[in-house]
Amino acid sequence: MKLLVGLGNPGAKYAQNRHNIGFMALDRIAADHGFSPWRAKFQGQISEGRFGSERVTLLKPETFMNLSGQSVGAAMRFLKIPPADIIVFHDEIDLAPGKVRLKTGGGHAGHNGLRSIHGHIGPDYDRVRLGVGHPGHKDAVPGYVLRDFPKADAEWLDDELRGISDGIADLVAGDGPKFLNAIALRVAPPRSSKSTPKPKPDIEVPASEDDARSPMQKLVDRFR
Tell me how many degrees the CA angle 65-148-171 measures, rounded to the nearest 5: 60
- CB contact set of 106 (below 8 Å; sequence gap of 6+): 123
Annotated catalytic residue 90: no
User: Distance between CA 111 and CA 133 in Å, rounded?
Assistant: 14
Q: 98 and 48 in contact (C-beta within 8 Å)?
A: no
Q: What is the number of other CB atoms lying within 10 angstroms of the CB of residue 123?
A: 14
Catalytic residue list: 19
